[in-house]
Structure 1
Amino acid sequence: MSDPKIWAAFVSGGFALAGTIYVAILNHFSRKEHQRFKAATDEKLATFRANVGKDIARFEAQTAKELAKLNADFQNERDERLAKQQSEKVLSKFRAPLLQAAYDLQSRIFNILKLEFLPTFYSNGSDLEQEYAVENTVFLLAQFLGWTELIRQEIQFLDLRSDEETRKLRSLQDSIFTRLRTDKFGQGFRLFAGEQRAVGELMIDRTGELPRCIGFATFLTDRNPNLDRWLDLLREDVKKMAADVKPYEKRLISIQHSLIDLLEFLDRNYVYFPMKSRLKI
């Protein structure tokens, strides 16, 4: 060991061994640190991915919900437009005859109350005039109910909740029906709701290309016993009006006012009938 070369080799080997051990220890701790870092990183990455997945799922669910609502709104809007178009077709097809029927009925009521139509043509008229005074008065009411029922049947399956025009028409029709059926005016010249519908149904003629209400000639010549079961009572009321209209006055005035409101709705610009012929009693 006294040989310097041997000692130097020994020392050099010792340092090399110590270095190897140090490097081995350092590598050992480095691997553990790396593993700890990797594990922590993997955990954070997994958490991040899970959170991102939840966010994506929430986003997709919200997007699907909003898309479904948009589709539903679009479908509802489309259905409403289609229903409104269909109702407009019905109203345009039957507006004129309903308008005419409403005008004729209110005009007859005006003549009965203000121009002594029944005393003139029933009480003091010829046999033909008497028949006309009674039958035509009853026909005018039945005709109005016929056109009203026809329109109701044509649009009953349409969803018209957003159609302001049709809702207004129904409201005006209901107003007339209510005044015709109510007991607050007594029992004279009254038809219950079901009777009004029944008369309207029996007045409809569907034999042609388009449904329509039967005319006065058919009403007279083809006497329908099913119609007469309700109209005969009205005929008797008309005859009684010729002697004394006072018991019937409130109901007739109320119906006439509602008919004028309907005319205002159907003919706002007085295209068919002038304002002076549409005055409320």
Structure 2
Amino acid sequence: MNNVSVISAVVSVSGAVLTAVLGGVFEARRRRSDREQLRRDLVSRYRDPLLQSAASLAARLRNAIRLLSGEEVHQAAPGSERQDEYNRYDSLYRLAAYLGWVQILQQEAHFLDLGSRRRNRRLMRRLGEVKGALSGHIEPSDTRVFLLLGGEQQAIGELMIDPDSPDRPRCLGYVQFRRRYRDDAEFAGWFEPLLEETTKVLEHPEEGAARLTTVYNALVDLIVYLDPKKVWILGPNRKFEHALTTASPDATPTK
């Protein structure tokens, strides 16, 4: 075999090896890209509704704290049966929807992969702080109003998952919630403890404001963590330093 043949063979083999190596590198990059896109889709699928529900609940709690603190909060039809019914069911729904999305997150995604174990742990910590604030495991621990035990939170979350969702799990809409609450006694019964706790808040406004402030501040931490640059939630996210204080200047009244 002459030198030309040897060189040609070497070049041919080298080219084949290089092609195989580059093909493997490109395939690995493609797979990583696919996994990253899947992760981003998962984040968008579960983070966004969780964020929206947390912000919606926080907005209602913010105004409730202001009311309990003796401040005036704008309402469309104050003192009317229509306004009272709206306040009752809309507040109930906002809390239930938040718990529903937390339950969906735990069932479907196990944890929301934000790109690193540290960020995942922080998310779980934020969710746990909201849960603890509602169940009374976070200060003020001596406040015995507006308590929703961990199992009760989970039960309400499970009930809020739409059983007829055609593709992916989602929460009941407001109309679905109102219809089931009206027509399904077992469904409505799970919300009785929450309604009782709401009554306690009204009967003990100082303790109620303290408890709601604890829950609200935990929600703010979650919202800021999920949306630190305020891309999706443009409303106020300032904490209350303590209950029964002057409201934040950027607080938004109930519409």
TM-score by length of 2: 0.68
Please report how far the alpha carbon of residue 90 of structure 1 lies from its aligned counterpart in structure 2 after TM superposition.
2.6
Q: 1:262 aligns with which of 210, 222, 227?
A: 222
Q: 1:92 aligns with which of 44, 48, 57?
A: 44
Q: 1:228 aligns with which of 183, 188, 191?
A: 188
Please give the alpha-carbon distance, in whole angstroms, between the structure 2 residues aligned to 1:265 and 1:277.
Answer: 14
Assess if the C-alpha contact under 8 Å between 1:188 and 1:247 holds in 2: yes
Please report how far the alpha carbon of residue 245 of structure 1 lies from its aligned counterpart in structure 2 after TM superposition.
2.1
Q: Go from structure 1 to structure 2 and tell me whether the alpha carbon gap of 1:239 and 1:161 turns closer, same or farther (over 3 Å shift).
A: same
Kindly name which structure, 1 or 2, has the bigger radius of gyration based on alpha carbons: 1
Please report how far the alpha carbon of residue 219 of structure 1 lies from its aligned counterpart in structure 2 after TM superposition.
1.1
Please give the alpha-carbon distance, in whole angstroms, between the structure 2 residues aligned to 1:268 and 1:198.
Answer: 30
Please report how far the alpha carbon of residue 87 of structure 1 lies from its aligned counterpart in structure 2 after TM superposition.
5.4
- Unmatched 5+ stretches in structure 2: 1-32, 241-255
Please report how far the alpha carbon of residue 206 of structure 1 lies from its aligned counterpart in structure 2 after TM superposition.
3.8
Which residue pairs with 2:17 in the alignment? none
Which residue pairs with 1:106 in the alignment? 58
Q: 1:212 aligns with which of 137, 151, 170?
A: 170
Assess if the C-alpha contact under 8 Å between 2:57 and 2:95 holds in 1: yes
Please give the alpha-carbon distance, in whole angstroms, between the structure 2 residues aligned to 1:103 and 1:256.
Answer: 10
Please report how far the alpha carbon of residue 237 of structure 1 lies from its aligned counterpart in structure 2 after TM superposition.
3.1
Q: 1:252 aligns with which of 188, 207, 212?
A: 212
- Helix, strand or coil for the counterpart of 1:222? helix
Counterpart of 2:188, as a letter, is D
Q: Go from structure 1 to structure 2 and tell me whether the alpha carbon gap of 1:233 and 1:120 turns closer, same or farther (over 3 Å shift).
A: farther
Counterpart of 1:156, as a letter, is H
Deviates more, 1:104-113 or 1:222-231: 222-231
Counterpart of 1:146, as a letter, is G
Which residue pairs with 1:39 in the alignment? none
Please give the alpha-carbon distance, in whole angstroms, between the structure 1 residues aligned to 2:213 and 2:35.
Answer: 35
Counterpart of 2:121, as a letter, is R
Which residue pairs with 1:140 in the alignment? 94
Q: Go from structure 1 to structure 2 and tell me whether the alpha carbon gap of 1:119 and 1:270 turns closer, same or farther (over 3 Å shift).
A: closer
Please give the alpha-carbon distance, in whole angstroms, between the structure 2 residues aligned to 1:185 and 1:121.
Answer: 32
Q: Go from structure 1 to structure 2 and tell me whether the alpha carbon gap of 1:191 and 1:82 turns closer, same or farther (over 3 Å shift).
A: farther
Q: 2:129 aligns with which of 152, 165, 175?
A: 175
Relative contact order, higher structure (CA 8 A, sep 6+): 2
Please give the alpha-carbon distance, in whole angstroms, between the structure 1 residues aligned to 2:206 and 2:76.
Answer: 17
Aligned residues: 200
Please report how far the alpha carbon of residue 82 of structure 1 lies from its aligned counterpart in structure 2 after TM superposition.
9.8
Please give the alpha-carbon distance, in whole angstroms, between the structure 1 residues aligned to 2:113 and 2:173.
Answer: 31
Please give the alpha-carbon distance, in whole angstroms, between the structure 1 residues aligned to 2:74 and 2:63.
Answer: 11
Q: Go from structure 1 to structure 2 and tell me whether the alpha carbon gap of 1:122 and 1:196 turns closer, same or farther (over 3 Å shift).
A: farther
Identity %: 31
TM-score by length of 1: 0.62
Higher helix share: 1
Alignment RMSD = 3.2
Q: Go from structure 1 to structure 2 and tell me whether the alpha carbon gap of 1:277 and 1:101 turns closer, same or farther (over 3 Å shift).
A: same
